[in-house]
Amino acid sequence: MAPRPPLHLAVALDGAGWHPAAWRAPDARPRDLFTAGYWRDLVTEAERGLLDLVTIEDGLALQSADPFRPDDRTDAVRGRLDAVLVAARVAPLTRHVGLVPTVVATHTEPFHVSKAIATLDHVSLGRAGVRVRISARPDEAALFGRRAVPPLDPRGPLAPDQEQLVADLLDEAGDHVEVQRRLWDSWEDDAEIRDAATGRFIDRDRLHYIDFIGRRFSVKGPSITPRPPQGQPVVAVLAHTEPVVRLGARVADVVLVTPRDAADAARLVALVRREQEAAGRGGETVHVLADVAVLLDASPAAARDRREHLDELAGDLVPAGYTGDDAHLVTGTAAELADLLLEWQDAGVSGFRLRPATLPHDLEAVTRALVPLLQDRGAFRQGYATSTLRGHLGLARPANRYATA
Amino acid sequence: MTRPRKQIHLAAHFPGVNNTTVWSDPRSGSHIDFASFVHLARTAERAKFDFFFLAEGLRLREYNGRIHDLDVVGRPDTFTVLAALAAVTDRLGLAGTINSTFNEPFEVARQFATLDHLSAGRAAWNVVTSWDAFTGENFRRGGFLPQDQRYERAETFLRTATELFDSWRGDEIAADADAGVFLRDPAAGAFRHEDAHFAVRGRFSVPRSPQGRPVILQAGDSDGGREFAASSADAIFTGHNTLEAGRAFHADVKRRLARYGRARDDLKVLPAATFVLGDTDAEAEELAREVTLAQHSGPTALRFLEQVWNRDLSGYDPDGPLPDVDPVDGENTVVQGRASVRLFRDRLATAREWRARAEGEGLSIRQLVVALSGGQTFVGSPATVADRIDALVQADAADGFILVPHLTPGGLDPFADRVVPLLQERGVFRADYTGTTLREHLDLPPLPAPGGGRTGGRSGDVAASRA
């Protein structure tokens, strides 16, 4: 049997953790959520665990119990910082771990986002990525006041006009990524020449207009920011439905999926591969990472007790008890989780994005218990072999689409 | 009775994408590598400067339809680099220029409130407005404004953003785990704003930041710009750095404050200034001549003239006489993406004036441009420069200066090492930071927090705003 390829591991950071009552856990720091120190501690812990990357959640609206409509609850975390800036703030304090903030494509300027992620790549010396999402909420559209979006709950069956709306938003997100990527390439690597003899700082023939024309925006370029160290920072998309998988397979380097079990993981990987093929990217590496929510303790009983206690604190925030939201939830030991990860890896995923139920508890369970177990089984790195996020993910630095030489 | 000596405020401008920056100098480093930003910011912090400043430009400049290649080209994203600098500095203010035309208030407010949290109260916003469709080609709405609406746009944008900053009072977060109460107020962050430019409503997602809002900088010199500064800004960035022009400007903007119920010290006047130091005044003069010449190469001089001529002048000899043809009147189509072209309102008259001067003084194109540049603001030995800065501030020609080094990233080092100690000895510049927020460094009064209390200023209680 061929040796097992090493797993790719990410942790998804969001507020006090993914359980709605996480902020009430004994080791939670709910008063520190808006300080740099809180995020520094989490990200340096992830780096201590040799993880490929952390993602930082973000959204336009204030958090709500139902992710598709606002509420006025006061018993859970409300308020958050801009994820790109959090990533930038921790970048100089870390050296290896990838930094992947969430960015909403729907109302934002691709030009601004592109240079922000390029700059995150510059300040982190090649560790930037971006997870792109859409916004399909009328209350979020009202924050900008530029266009109306009808109410929609993608969990139920969609009417044809709603399906069209989602399709349009996904197309726009695809255009957004396309513009980001073209702008990253709009400077060739050697465009800065500093030629004293001719007085030219740049060779303008190595700068390129991107001339993107789309339905929602047109962007001329070039970027104001030179090409980032990775060439192309890593783009990720979280997909629950086929249209979003299609988008991810078309534009992303990492597609995050939410399988229920190993068979579902295999099905989703096949779907990504099929769509990748259809998008003409059959030869490219597109990682499929499975999202798994984790609530970990030294014994299965301790984990179960902790979950019950958190559910009790959460009350009607989780009417039927916490299930990991859209992701599969593992309540148990790090060894049990390791077994599941290796089983799903055999089903075809290249790694996982783990969602800690509470912070820092479940993050430390990942970095201090899960990681050593995986290392013992030869399934995870013993140390960082590269210093860029593309490097960790085994992605080569891509050639510039505009370079002629 | 003599009044106490005024305290000087100093800021460091990261060298920009114009010909002030002498990139051809062998000591000139990267304008993009984060290490360059760290170097300048740490030098400024070591010298106890008030803040670090970044300018903005959202489209690469063009001359004759081609990207301008003679100056430094390229810069990072302002918010991202300032957030990263917050990690490598402790006290230094972090000021970014952010455009009110190609952004939305919700996003800008969110980014500045975040930066203020992540820097524990050190954020500042230089509010600018563009009206050119040229830059608009990089953005969704491609939007441009009639030029006369630019301050209206800036004011209403700032007012809207301020409503967002103020949508959290600062005492909403209980985070009481035992009681299960995270928020004290179920409507925290609620806002609604409608005017001719913006119609926005909802809940702002960033709790009140340590300073309440970023320090507001403004850089307009027109009547509208001065009025905007008097009504809304904490500091004004100007080009008037000589004694007479500075005093006139200083008196003018300070006089406008009363109309808005503001005190004389509520708005700081901070002219931009360059400097060249030497061991002796004579050595500094010689170095300054070299720097000024390096800043105005022949091709750069021709590009400068094109701002007025509105023609491609690349066929002319920069060491020869001024162009014999007249400028093309109307919208400048040759030079794109430079705010400075608007300084030349009557191009034909300007050309006549320059030709007369060049002929009268026997100047070539390049020599004229060097003469027009005015050279460097502060030239001399450290003692001479310290004297000059102090004299200008004590004479109310300024409240301090935004220094623009001509070298990246080490250009500020000699100033920090040799001039700042002299100012400190005179007791006109802080020997160490006495506060933690930028409002405190600038000696600005604390902001009234919505719903009572004060945040983040001279006697503000930072902790109270951080719940």
ipTM at complex level: 0.98
Residue B26 shares a structural domain with residue B95: yes
B199 at A interface, C-beta within 8 A: yes
Query: CA geometry: angle at A149 spanning A147 and A150, to 5°?
Result: 145
Q: How far apart are CA B278 and CA B283, in angstroms?
A: 5
Q: Residue with structure tokens 């590496």?
A: A285
| pLDDT tens by residue, B370-390 | 999 888 999 999 999 999 999
What is the separation of C-alpha A325 from the centre of its chain, rounded to a whole number of angstroms? 17
Is the pLDDT reported for residue B453 higher than 90?
no
- The pLDDT of residue B451: 66
Residue B366 shares a structural domain with residue B252: no
Chain B residues whose CB is inside 8 A of the A73 CB are 186
User: Which residue from A256, A155, A173 is spatially nearest to A217, judged by alpha carbons?
Assistant: A173
Give yes or no for a contact between A237 and A255, defined as CB atoms under 8 angstroms apart.
yes
Higher pLDDT, B452 or B447: B447
Which domain-ending residue is among B373, B394, B428? B373
Q: Which of B38, B69, B110, B192 to mutate to test the interface with A (most CBs of A within 10 A)?
A: B69
- The pLDDT of residue A397: 97
Q: How far apart are CA A95 and CA A116, in angstroms?
A: 19
Higher pLDDT, A94 or B64: A94
Residue B19 shares a structural domain with residue B117: yes
Residue B248 shares a structural domain with residue B101: yes
Higher pLDDT, B51 or B446: B51
A215 at B interface, C-beta within 8 A: no
Q: How far apart are CA A91 and CA A122, in angstroms?
A: 10
> What topology does CATH give the domain A8-392?
TIM Barrel (3.20.20)
Among A104-113, B294-303, B400-409, B430-439, name the one with the lowest average pLDDT.
B294-303
Rounded mean pLDDT of chain B?
91
Chain B residues whose CB is inside 8 A of the A122 CB are 32-34, 76, 81
Q: How far apart are CA B95 and CA B122, in angstroms?
A: 8
Higher pLDDT, B449 or B325: B325
Stretch A168-178: mean pLDDT:
98
| pLDDT tens by residue, B180-207 | 999 999 999 999 999 999 999 999 999 9
Residue B256 shares a structural domain with residue B343: no
Residue B286 shares a structural domain with residue B168: no
Which domain-ending residue is among B373, B390, B423? B373
**Cβ-defined contact of A224 to B104 (cutoff 8 Å):** no
In this prediction, residue A405 has a pLDDT band, given cuts at 50, 70 and 90, of low
Phi and psi, residue B413, nearest 5°: -55, -50
Stretch A245-249: mean pLDDT:
98
Chain B residues whose CB is inside 8 A of the A86 CB are 83, 114, 118
- The pLDDT of residue B454: 46
Q: How far apart are CA B443 and CA A279, in angstroms?
A: 59
Of B102, B199, B203, the CB nearest to A62: B203
Phi and psi, residue B260, nearest 5°: -105, 15
In this prediction, residue B141 has a pLDDT band, given cuts at 50, 70 and 90, of confident
- The pLDDT of residue A250: 98
In this prediction, residue A245 has a pLDDT band, given cuts at 50, 70 and 90, of very high
**Cβ-defined contact of A224 to B201 (cutoff 8 Å):** no
Higher pLDDT, B453 or B261: B261
B2 within a domain of the structure (yes/no): no
Min Cα distance A41 → chain B (Å) is 13
User: Which residue from B252, B256, B166 is spatially nearest to B453, judged by alpha carbons?
Assistant: B166
Residue B334 shares a structural domain with residue B421: no
Residue B453 shares a structural domain with residue B360: no
B194 within a domain of the structure (yes/no): yes
- The pLDDT of residue A191: 97
Give yes or no for a contact between B274 and B376, defined as CB atoms under 8 angstroms apart.
yes
Question: Residue A192 burial by CB count (10 A; 0-12/13-18/19+): exposed, middle or buried?
Answer: buried
B296 within a domain of the structure (yes/no): yes
Strand, helix or coil at A13? strand
B152 within a domain of the structure (yes/no): yes
A216 at B interface, C-beta within 8 A: yes
Is the pLDDT reported for residue B460 higher than 60?
no
Q: How far apart are CA B408 and CA A45, in angstroms?
A: 35
**Cβ-defined contact of B87 to A31 (cutoff 8 Å):** no
Q: How far apart are CA A400 and CA A117, in angstroms?
A: 17
Higher pLDDT, A3 or B248: B248
Is the pLDDT reported for residue A153 higher than 80?
no
**Cβ-defined contact of A196 to B106 (cutoff 8 Å):** no
**Maximum CA pair distance of chain A?**
74
- Number of CB atoms found within 10 A of residue B200's CB: 21
| pLDDT tens by residue, B61-77 | 998 899 999 999 999 99
Among A18-22, A310-314, A401-405, name the one with the lowest average pLDDT.
A401-405
Strand, helix or coil at A333? coil
Of B142, B183, B297, the CB nearest to A78: B183
Where are the domains positioned within chain A?
8-392
Size of interface A-B (CB pairs under 8 A): 220
Strand, helix or coil at B216? strand
- The pLDDT of residue A108: 97
- The pLDDT of residue B220: 77
Percent of chain A with pLDDT over 90: 91
Q: How far apart are CA B335 and CA B310, in angstroms?
A: 7
Is the pLDDT reported for residue A1 higher than 90?
no
Chain A residues whose CB is inside 8 A of the B141 CB are 146
**Cβ-defined contact of B76 to A115 (cutoff 8 Å):** yes
What is the secondary structure of B293-315 as a DSSP string?
A: HHHS-HHHHHHHHHHHH-S--TT
B71 at A interface, C-beta within 8 A: yes
Min Cα distance A363 → chain B (Å) is 20
- The pLDDT of residue B144: 65
B287 within a domain of the structure (yes/no): yes
**Cβ-defined contact of A201 to B84 (cutoff 8 Å):** no
Beta bridge partners of A294: A330, A356
Residue B327 shares a structural domain with residue B431: no
Where do the DSSP E strands lie in B388-449? 400-403, 447-448
Residue B433 shares a structural domain with residue B331: no
B137's CB contacts (< 8 A; 6+ apart) are A218, A219, A220, B59
Which domain-ending residue is among B325, B355, B373? B373
B81 at A interface, C-beta within 8 A: yes
| pLDDT tens by residue, A212-241 | 999 999 999 999 999 999 999 999 999 999
- The pLDDT of residue B254: 97
B203 within a domain of the structure (yes/no): yes
Radius of gyration of chain B from its Cα atoms, rounded to whole angstroms:
23
Residue B153 shares a structural domain with residue B24: yes
Of A62, A116, A216, the CB nearest to B205: A62
B102 at A interface, C-beta within 8 A: yes
Stretch A40-62: mean pLDDT:
98
- The pLDDT of residue B465: 34
Residues B175-183: contacts with CB under 8 Å, at least 24 apart: B175/A23, B175/A30, B175/A31, B175/B467, B177/A23, B177/A24, B177/A28, B177/A30, B180/A24, B180/A75, B180/A313, B180/A315, B181/A74, B181/A75, B182/A23, B182/A30, B182/A74, B182/A75, B182/A76, B182/A77, B182/A78, B183/A74, B183/A78
Pairing relationship of beta strands A287-296 and A351-356 according to DSSP bridges: parallel
B1 within a domain of the structure (yes/no): no
B4 within a domain of the structure (yes/no): no
A120 at B interface, C-beta within 8 A: yes
- The pLDDT of residue B333: 80
A254 at B interface, C-beta within 8 A: no
Is the pLDDT reported for residue A11 higher than 50?
yes
SS (H, E, C) B331-393: CCCCEECCHHHHHCCCHHHHHHHHHHHHHHHCCCHHHHHHHHHCCCCEEECHHHHHHHHHHHH
Query: Which tokens go with A220?
Result: 């001329």
- The total domain count for chain B is 2
Chain A 75-114, residues with CB within 8 Å of chain B CB atoms: 75-82, 84-86, 88-93, 107-109, 111-112
Rounded mean pLDDT of chain A?
96
Residue B199 shares a structural domain with residue B268: yes
Min Cα distance B428 → chain A (Å) is 33
- The pLDDT of residue B130: 81
Domain that holds residue B421: 9-274+378-465
Q: How far apart are CA A102 and CA A85, in angstroms?
A: 11
Domain harbouring B229, CATH code: 3.20.20.30
- Number of CB atoms found within 10 A of residue B392's CB: 25
